[in-house]
Each structure stands twice: as C-alpha cells, then as structure tokens.
C-alpha cells in the first residue's frame, strides 16, 4: 500500500464535504481569507484547489491539514484511517489495538518511503516558495550589499545567477508570505523556522540553496560581510541533515573525470566558475559514508581549507575513500591562502581577516 498515492486519489470534493465546507459547483468561500463571495475553486481532476482572492493553493492533503490545523504526520494518519480501505483492514487485523497509528509505525517500508517522500516534497515547496518570494522582492540596500559582497569575492553575475544565490530583502514580508502558505509546524519541521516561529536566517541574509535533481533540498545562510561579535558567518537549517552542495553536477560527470571536494559552498562555486567540477561538504567535519558511492567513477581531489580542521578532515576523507576503492588525491593550498576562494581571488589571507568586508 502506498499511502501517499492512495491519498492523492481521494476526491477533493469528498474531503471538502467531510470537512464541513460548503461547496457549490466546485466553488467555496475561502477559509484562508475573509470574503463574502466564493473565490476558492476545487479542481476534482487534479484534486487540487486555488483561491483567486488570496492565491492560496494546495491539494486534498494540504486542505485537510490546514482546515484541521494538523501537521502533516497527523494528517496522513487521519486521512489514511478515514479514506484508505486497506489501512482500516490493517488496523482491524492487528489483535493488539495499536495505541495510535502513526504512519511511521506501519511495518511496510513503502509507507515509510511514501511518508518521507511527502515530507521532503513539502520541505522543497517551502524552500522554493521562500526563494521565489525573495527573488521577486524589489532590490534594496540589503540585496545591493549582497551583490557587492559576492562580486568582491570574485564571483561573476553569471555564477551568481547559475547558483541562484539570493538575499532576504525584507524579513517581515517573506515571513508573512510563508505563514500564509504553510502551517507553522511544517515551517518548523523544514528547519527554516525555529520553535518561536522566527525565520532562522535573521542575520544571515545571503542564502545559498542546495539542489538535488533540480529541487531545493537544503539552505544555508551567510552574513553579508563581516559577522557581528558572537555571530557565526554561516547558519544552517535546524535539524535537517546536511547534504552535498552542487551534487547534481555528479549526474553529468564522465567516468574518470576529476571532481574536487571542498569545504565551503563558495569554494565549490569558485572552482565551477574556473571551469572545474566540484561539490562541497558544507563543513569539514561532516561526511556521510553513503556519499562515497557517488564518487565511484571519478578521480576525487580533496581541496579543503588550509587550517587544522581542513587537514584533519582530508586525512579522514582519504581513509574513507580508500576503504571504498575510490581514487583520491589531495591538493594543498599555498601557505598564505586560507581557502580555495581566497586563492583564486589572489588576496593574502581572508577578506574577513583583513577586515575588508
């Protein structure tokens, strides 16, 4: 049983009726904004809805979760019990009554996969809505500073565009928008919002999106320029597993080609700008063993930071890769350069150290 597929088959008209919503000729008054005439339209052939008044959109599952104010986990569980015949049977066949069926507890791997797939899909939707909204905001002082900063680090406009780097121009506006579109719980689970419902990238207004198969799967924020005392330069999503940056480039790589592995995303971006193939780990001390198989066919060159953490990470990575029979070498930066980007920018030390930015 694939719960997600089955739930997607459930008629949105049925769901709306069961939720007690008044529908006439596939139209109803929008529950997401105040109105006197119905402008929310239900589309039974795709089981989706769209409000012409407030632009709220979604499918049967989001309608259910929004109206009942439930997180996705509970929504799937409730909807499965209500609409999927096999799911009821599954429960009935269990002699011991299950305390409360959670999709996670159903001993069918496909259900877990379906659930994970759905969660990942919702997170990508949140990240992409966040990016799209930020990109269409009018440029202002923040975005100009971000652009200037990137150019000072040696990035061309093409590179900035190719990697779809963006900045948060108006914090309040984007938060208002995302809270209209997504539930607080989903926003928190995506790691973009903390438990106080605040956007985590408050000081980190320059955003680096991580893509997999063209979808955003992770976000990293950076302070524009020099961070304030006590603030880290980078901010990573709450409770979300870090993933490889620029991993999609591995899909296009030919057997035997050289792939550079860097620490920071900016180093990776820089190498790509210089015509090389590169991915980045995000930080020196995280490498997941399952990533190793992605590099089976290529020549790996570690090009990590010129500091203790970088050297130590290179030692450990070499061990892991050798264990998996992946050919790898190490490239060391000349002493006076801290990281790959500094090297290419050709400046002594890092810009931050020099206090330039």
Binding-site ranges for Zn ion (CB under 5 A): 30, 32-33, 51, 53-54, 56
Q: Output 54 or 242, the one with its CB closest to Zn ion.
A: 54
In the bound complex, which residue of the shown chain has the CB atom lying closest to Zn ion?
30
Residue 338 contacts residue 332 (beta carbons within 8 Å): no
Identify the CA nearest to 270 among candidates 135, 188, 163, 120. Answer: 163
Q: Output 51 or 277, the one with its CB closest to Zn ion.
A: 51
Residue 296 contacts residue 326 (beta carbons within 8 Å): yes
Cβ 33 to Zn ion shortest distance, Å: 4
Rounded to 5 degrees, φ, ψ at 231 are -105, 135
Cβ 42 to Zn ion shortest distance, Å: 13
Q: Output 42 or 219, the one with its CB closest to Zn ion.
A: 42
- Maximum Cα–Cα distance across the chain: 72
Cβ 121 to Zn ion shortest distance, Å: 23
Q: Output 53 or 227, the one with its CB closest to Zn ion.
A: 53
Q: 22 vs 10, 16, 67, CA distance in Å?
A: 18, 8, 13
Cβ 41 to Zn ion shortest distance, Å: 10
Cβ 180 to Zn ion shortest distance, Å: 9
Residue 205 contacts residue 165 (beta carbons within 8 Å): no
Identify the CA nearest to 221 among candidates 232, 229, 213. Answer: 232
């Amino acid at each position: 049983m694939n719960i997600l597929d089955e739930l997607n088959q459930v008629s949105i008209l049925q769901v709306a009726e069961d939720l007690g919503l008044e529908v006439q000729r596939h139209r109803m008054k929008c529950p997401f904004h105040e109105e006197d005439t119905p402008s929310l339209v239900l589309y039974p052939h795709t089981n989706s809805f769209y409000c012409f008044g407030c632009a709220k959109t979604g499918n049967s599952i989001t309608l259910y979760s929004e109206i009942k104010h439930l997180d996705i986990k509970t929504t799937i569980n409730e909807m499965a019990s209500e609409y999927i015949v096999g799911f009821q049977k599954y429960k009935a066949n269990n002699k011991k009554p299950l305390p409360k069926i959670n999709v996670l507890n159903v001993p069918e791997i496909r259900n877990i996969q379906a659930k994970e797939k759905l969660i990942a899909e919702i997170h990508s939707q949140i990240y992409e809505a966040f990016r799209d909204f930020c990109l269409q905001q009018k440029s202002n002082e923040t975005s100009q500073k971000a652009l200037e900063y990137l150019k000072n680090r040696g990035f061309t406009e093409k590179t900035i565009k190719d990697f779809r780097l963006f900045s948060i121009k108006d914090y309040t506006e984007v938060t208002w928008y995302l809270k209209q579109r997504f539930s607080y719980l989903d926003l928190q689970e995506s790691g973009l919002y903390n438990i106080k419902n605040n956007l985590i990238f408050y000081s980190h207004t320059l955003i680096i999106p991580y893509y997999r198969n063209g979808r955003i799967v992770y976000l990293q924020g950076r302070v524009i320029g020099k961070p304030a005392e006590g603030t880290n330069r980078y901010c990573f999503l709450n409770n979300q597993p870090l993933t490889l940056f620029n991993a999609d480039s591995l899909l296009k790589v030919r057997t035997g080609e050289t792939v550079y592995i860097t620490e920071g995303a900016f180093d990776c971006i820089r190498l790509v700008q210089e015509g090389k193939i590169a991915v980045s780990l995000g930080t020196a001390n995280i490498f997941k063993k399952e990533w190793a198989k992605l590099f089976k066919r290529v020549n790996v060159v570690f090009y990590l930071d010129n500091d203790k953490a970088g050297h130590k990470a290179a030692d450990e990575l070499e061990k892991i890769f050798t264990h998996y029979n992946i050919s790898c070498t190490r490239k060391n930066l000349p002493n006076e350069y801290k990281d790959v980007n500094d090297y290419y920018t050709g400046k002594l030390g890092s810009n931050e150290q020099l206090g330039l930015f």
